[in-house]
Structure 1
Amino acid sequence: MEQVILVNEQDELLGVMEKMEAHEKALLHRAFSVFVFNEKNELLLQQRAFTKYHSGGLWTNTCCSHPRPGESTEIAATRRLQEEMGFTTELYKAFSFTYKAAFDNGLTEHEFDHVFIGHYNGHVEVNPEEVAGYAYKSLEETASLLEADPANFTAWFHIAFPKIYDWYQQNYKS
């Protein structure tokens, strides 16, 4: 049974709970989102597997999940990147944010989301149980797609992407 780490608004540990119960009760828990860029400054987007318990088939950042109890968020992010996308790369913490999004199936994501950035140019080998597809897109193209067809993207991507866009412009543009 998969558990999540319950936290307060300062990301301080409150306890642990079974993942689905935390989503049913809309309790704030620790999560992470990974954004990987290639040498052309294109973002590696993931299309979630259609069988996921929510947001199946929607496009989102490179990978995201929850750290396990007793596992650091950075180690969890590296682990899930390997499990979902088939590679690892050095990750850097960029920022964090909280969000709450309810889904049609009665579940709610209420997450304290730690955002990590990585750079990678090698082979991607997705886990078909987690990922339906992937694509590299420039930040500008991603912004256009998000605006043109918002229903094609996950709830958290709508919140995280503008923050990543601003962060990337400040930290990587010359």
Structure 2
Amino acid sequence: MNDHVVLVNENDVEIGLMPKLEAHQKGVLHRAFSIFIFNTNGELLLQQRAYGKYHSEGLWSNTCCSHPFPDESTFNAATRRLKEEMGIDASLNFLYSFRYEAGLDNGLTEHELDHVFWGITDKIPVINHDEVLSYKYISEKNLRIDMQNNPAQYTEWFKICLDEVLEKLRI
């Protein structure tokens, strides 16, 4: 069942399971999480998604994102995937949740109730090359310049939530 996503309603109440690819083909609302890791200089750790991913391959995105397994909390899933993808253990903090829907490549649709976590660490990533092509730390200023000049190089969900994440972390 690890290839399934948890289907939810608008209130994040579980209503079923569906194979991950089918959920993205049909654009069905499902539970997800996104992680934003910063270093002590305030730079955001980005990952470049590996080639061969079923969508958004080769694009830059937040540090890590995925879906919890059935019967797994989003916090436990976020902690697990950060280690699996980026080779990092970090103390994660819940920031907020939001719902979005965005068209992707390959005729897929991302329709997620996304739980956002953040953390701070100076640990050096040890990336899983099946998931991650590359990584970099980047300042907010340089990130915004690059996103303005090269918006097609970034994932849709990252473009949707970046401003709100940074605004909430400034408070």
> TM (normalized to structure 1)?
0.95
Alignment of 1:84-163 (within 5 A): 84-163=85-164
Alignment of 1:36-115 (within 5 A): 36-115=37-116
- Mapped partners of 1:107, 1:169: distance in 2: 34
Question: What SS does the aligned partner of 2:76 have?
Answer: helix
- Mapped partners of 1:148, 1:142: distance in 2: 10
Aligned pair count reads 170
Give 1:104 shift: 3.0
User: Match of 1:21?
Assistant: 22
Give 1:161 shift: 0.6
Q: Between the two proteins, what is the percent identity of the paired residues?
A: 52
Q: Which amino acid in 2 is paired with 1:79? A: R
> TM (normalized to structure 2)?
0.97
Give 1:106 shift: 1.6
Which deviations, in whole Å up to 9, do the C-alpha atoms of 1:28-51 show, x marking residues without a partner?
Answer: 000000000001010000000011
User: Unpaired segments of 5 or more residues in structure 2?
Assistant: none
CA RMSD of aligned residues (A): 0.9
- Mapped partners of 1:68, 1:121: distance in 2: 28
Given that 2:56 and 2:105 are in contact with CA atoms closer than 8 Å, whether structure 1 keeps it comes out as no
Which deviations, in whole Å up to 9, do the C-alpha atoms of 1:109-130 show, x marking residues without a partner?
Answer: 1000000001111121000000
Q: Which amino acid in 1 is paired with 2:125? A: V
Give 1:7 shift: 0.4
Alignment of 1:5-16 (within 5 A): 5-16=6-17
Large movers: runs of 4+ above 2 Å? none
Question: What SS does the aligned partner of 1:105 have?
Answer: helix
Which deviations, in whole Å up to 9, do the C-alpha atoms of 1:88-124 show, x marking residues without a partner?
Answer: 1110000111111112312111000000001111121
Question: What SS does the aligned partner of 2:25 have?
Answer: helix
- Mapped partners of 1:147, 1:17: distance in 2: 36
Question: What SS does the aligned partner of 2:31 have?
Answer: strand
Larger mean CA deviation between 29-38 and 131-140 belongs to: 131-140
- Mapped partners of 2:115, 2:144: distance in 1: 21
Q: Which amino acid in 1 is paired with 2:70? A: P
